[in-house]
């Protein structure tokens, strides 16, 4: 399956980010905790050099906790600060403010030496499409936030959300694009629901997910679809998908199995966390 991206806005988005990055002290990069590498753009390291970096592992509650901890170590070893969050539920958001202060400690000290006191840290939220940037900004800012509007010396049109005396967020998130060349990246992003299902072959996608689950999380399939323990090992993915169709009553006329419907159910069960906490890639070898 060839997952296609439409990078028409890429150049414009990148140019806009380069302009906005000049205005900020801190880059807050949102990643999906289930696919931290696939949901990040390698350009951000170049775009964000000389800026403080905070990575938020979003939807961490849907990812394998052991993998979350391993990914935190991975990014910390690369000079980033890391917090596990769920932007939708608000979990982990209270940890962000103290980490922001720690990440920007040098900048705050530099300001103090120059006699500039209490100047807020300015941050921009960046990430690929559908990773939860807007949800995070809305949850983190809450209803109390106010846009501070244009300020002298600030690029025309830049709006700032004043969260408190210590932190302002640029209200336009920076849009990054996934790495297009690697089809595995596209597959993983499709599995978590970042690409519209209408343009995908959901059966093929479900079979790829089953192959991965059989290898790393067989118990998730056995438990969810009431299969006997150990039955999954070495089973053909098509047979597993057929079992899902039977268990979920996916039948079309003439008692034929509706494999397309079963594929959709399996993918939705994974995306919603009903299959359990599952991470699709692991730092040491990229693919768990």
Q: Which of 24, 20, 81 is nearest to 50 (CA)?
A: 24
- The interaxial angle of helices 202-216 and 237-247, nearest 10 deg, is 100
Instruction: Say yes or no: 55 and 163 in one domain.
Output: yes
Q: Which residues are 47's β-sheet partners? A: none
> DSSP code of 82?
E
Per-residue pLDDT of the chain (288 residues; tens, 9 = 90+): 666 555 556 677 778 888 889 889 999 999 999 999 999 987 888 888 889 999 999 999 999 999 999 999 999 999 999 999 999 999 999 999 999 999 999 999 999 999 998 899 999 998 888 888 888 988 888 754 545 444 433 344 567 888 888 999 987 767 777 666 778 888 998 999 887 777 779 999 999 999 999 999 999 999 999 876 666 766 899 999 999 999 999 999 888 999 999 999 999 999 999 999 999 999 974 444
Cβ contacts of 38 within 8 Å, gap of 6 or more: 32, 178, 179, 184, 185, 188, 189, 280, 281
Instruction: Say yes or no: 147 and 67 in one domain.
Output: yes
Instruction: Say yes or no: 155 and 17 in one domain.
Output: yes
CATH number at residue 16: 3.40.50.300
Say how many domains are in the chain: 2
CATH number at residue 249: 1.10.1580.10
User: Would 189 be classed as within a structural domain?
Assistant: no
Instruction: Say yes or no: 166 and 217 in one domain.
Output: no
Instruction: Say yes or no: 170 and 211 in one domain.
Output: no
**SS3 for 288?**
coil
Which pTM does this prediction carry?
0.88
Residue 71, pLDDT score: 97
Q: Which of 235, 204, 222, 192 is nearest to 58 (CA)?
A: 192
Neighbour tally for 210: CB within 10 Å: 23
> DSSP code of 89?
T
Instruction: Say yes or no: 38 and 158 in one domain.
Output: yes
User: Would 204 be classed as within a structural domain?
Assistant: yes
Q: What backbone phi and psi angles, to 5 degrees, belong to 58?
A: -80, 155
Q: Are 127 and 133 in contact (CB under 8 A)?
A: yes
Q: How many residues does the chain have?
A: 288
Reported as type and span, the H/E element at residue 257 is: strand 256-257
Instruction: Say yes or no: 25 and 161 in one domain.
Output: yes
Q: Which of 149, 124, 163 is nearest to 23 (CA)?
A: 124
Neighbour tally for 132: CB within 10 Å: 23
Beta strands 167-170 and 160-164 are: antiparallel
Instruction: Say yes or no: 84 and 140 in one domain.
Output: yes
- The interaxial angle of helices 105-113 and 96-103, nearest 10 deg, is 60
Q: Are 27 and 21 in contact (CB under 8 A)?
A: yes
User: Would 186 be classed as within a structural domain?
Assistant: no
User: Would 73 be classed as within a structural domain?
Assistant: yes
- Domain extent, residue 206, equals 200-272
- The last residue of a domain, from among 175, 192, 226: 175
Q: Are 169 and 120 in contact (CB under 8 A)?
A: no
């Amino acid at each position: 399956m060839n997952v296609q991206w439409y990078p028409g806005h890429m150049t414009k988005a990148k140019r806009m980010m380069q302009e906005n990055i000049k205005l900020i002290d801190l880059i807050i990069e949102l990643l999906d905790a289930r696919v931290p590498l696939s949901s990040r753009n390698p350009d951000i390291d170049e775009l964000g050099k000389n800026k403080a970096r905070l990575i938020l592992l979003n939807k961490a509650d849907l990812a394998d906790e052991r993998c979350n901890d391993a990914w935190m170590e991975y990014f910390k070893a690369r000079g980033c600060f890391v917090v596990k969050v769920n932007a939708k539920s608000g979990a982990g958001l209270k940890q962000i403010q103290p980490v922001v202060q720690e990440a920007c400690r040098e900048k705050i000290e530099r300001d103090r030496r120059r006699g500039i006191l209490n100047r807020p840290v300015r941050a921009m939220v960046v990430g690929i499409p559908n990773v939860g940037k807007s949800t995070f900004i809305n949850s983190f800012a809450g209803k109390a936030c106010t846009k501070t509007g244009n300020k002298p010396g600030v690029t025309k049109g830049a709006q700032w959300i004043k969260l408190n005396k210590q932190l302002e967020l640029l209200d336009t998130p920076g849009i990054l694009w996934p790495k297009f060349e690697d089809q595995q990246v596209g597959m993983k992003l499709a599995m978590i629901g970042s690409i519209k299902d209408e343009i995908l072959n959901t059966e093929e996608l479900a079979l790829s997910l089953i192959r991965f689950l059989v290898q790393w999380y067989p118990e998730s399939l056995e438990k969810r679809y009431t299969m006997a323990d150990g039955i999954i090992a070495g089973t053909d993915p098509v047979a597993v998908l057929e079992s899902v169709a039977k268990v979920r009553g996916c039948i079309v006329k003439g008692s034929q199995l509706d494999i397309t419907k079963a594929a959709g159910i399996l993918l939705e069960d994974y995306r919603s966390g009903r299959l359990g906490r599952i991470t699709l890639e692991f730092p040491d070898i990229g693919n768990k």
